[in-house]
Structure formats: C-alpha cells, structure tokens
A = this chain, B = another copy of it.
C-alpha cells in the first residue's frame, strides 16, 4: 500500500514507521528537523519490544501526499483546516483519510473540505519524539476505526503490521471518552505544571474533576452520543497508570506553544452552549489556559 502521514509527529511516526517496517511504501510529511534526520539515518523506531532504524520517505512538502492510497492525518486539531486545504489539490480521488487526532470533530471538519472518504479513528498510544527522527514508544498502540466499505481491509493490513485495529460503529463515543479524559486532566496539569499523580490528590481536586466529567457527560448525552462505559471510572483510573505524566497541554504551555484547548474543554463549552447545557468548570479551565497562552504570546 502507498501511505502518506500528514503531520509526522510522535503519533504519525509511530504508525507510519510500523507500516513501513511491514513493507508498505510510507512517506512522512513533517518538520525539517525530523525529515533531515530520517532521510539521513532512517526513522529510529524505539518501541517497548524492539529498537530498529526503518527506511522510509520523508518530506517537508505537502505535495508528497500525491499517489497515496491512504492518508494518516495526524496534525494538531488546531491545524486541521489549514492542513486539509494544503493537501487537497494533491490527493488522489480514491484516497482514504484516517484522522488520528485528539478531539471529536476532526473527521467532520475534514470531511467538510474534502471529497475523499474521511474515517474517524481513535488512537490509544503513548509516544514521544525523543530527538530528531527518534520515535520513543512508551506503550499501547491500538486503533479503532469507523465502519466504512474499506475499514475491514485496513484493519487487516494494520493488524499484519503489528497494529491491533478494531472496526467500530461507535468511534464517536470512543472519541468522546478520550475527550472526557483530556478535559479532566489536561488543563489541570497544564495550569499547575504538575504531573497527574500530584494533581489528583490535591485539596478539592476530585470534586473539580467530577464536575468536569459530569458536564462532559451531560453535553454528550444532549448531543446524542453513546458513551462506551462509565466516564468517571475511566477518568479515576488513569492516574494510577500514569502518575508521572504531564498532559500534552502542559507540555505545550511549558514550550510556549499553542495548545489544543479549543478542541478539549473549549469544545465541550461551545457544544454545551449550542445545546443549552451549562459547563461552568470546563469554561473556567478553558479560560485559564487561554489567558496563560496569551501571556506567553506577549512575553515571547
């Protein structure tokens, strides 16, 4: 299969690397520092089970999507529209686009701009770029993709490449479940610059997290979303498995980068407004992250 990864950060490099290792023709599209290192040395896939340099194509140019049958769309939720417009003129008419992103509405936003089929996908993986061209895998790696005519075939291809992939008719519910996790942890860790294991035991924090979850569940239900499981149990369980983790939002703020908060607590807030469901705690967390971003933007 001819595969392109649009936005080759830690998620895109992991899945692109696994597919290239299985013999597929993969092109990573990403930032110069990674592209240069990958062209020179290959992608270093440094996983829980093996460590290997994988040879594949890499480019900083969006037109490298040309010829791809499958696009793994891995840009930040804040960049979905821009990246869609950039790649649109170069896409094959029959190309299939999988959204491997945080947030629940990326596939919808992308589909609004592309005539190709867009398949919402849930990603369960812990990875980071440990250096230029160096992908560090901390655990998991499963995908869940929405039901389409092509989904079973893709799931089989992925499974053969070591990527456990499930086809589901409730990907939106699973994306919401991830969204709720992100809403409960990301902003608190970001605002305080603390890891989950130090956030959760804080005075009155459990009540705050319960409020966040309850607001999210109310919005999801008002929007007709079917949540697969008890959201609070999932949220309460996460801290035990990753006590030393800082949220991606915390990492973005620490690096002075724009975060995805518009697509996390900000999304729940806007969705709640449109559905008439109050979300005061999500709004508070959203407003605080935006203020800190604005302060940093001025300071920079």
- Write the residues of chain A forming the contact surface with B, with a CB cutoff of 8 angstroms: 188, 191-194, 198-199, 202-205, 207-208, 211, 269, 280-281, 283-288, 290-292, 294-295
Contact = CB atoms under 8 A, between A and B. Distances in A.
Q: Assembly of this chain: how many copies?
A: 2
Given A198-B294, A294-B202, A284 B287 contact: no
A202 B287 contact: yes
6 contacts: A188-B291, A198-B294, A202-B294, A204-B283, A205-B287, A208-B280
B192 A295 contact: yes
B288 A188 contact: yes
A194 B289 CA distance: 12
A-B pairs with the 4 shortest C-beta distances? A192-B291, A204-B287, A202-B291, A203-B290
B292 A192 contact: yes
A15 to B, nearest CB: 34
Nearest to A205: B287
Contact of A284 (B211, B291, B292, B294): B211
A92 B269 CA distance: 58
A234 to B, nearest CB: 21
A164 B194 CA distance: 47
Contacts of A281: 280-281, 284
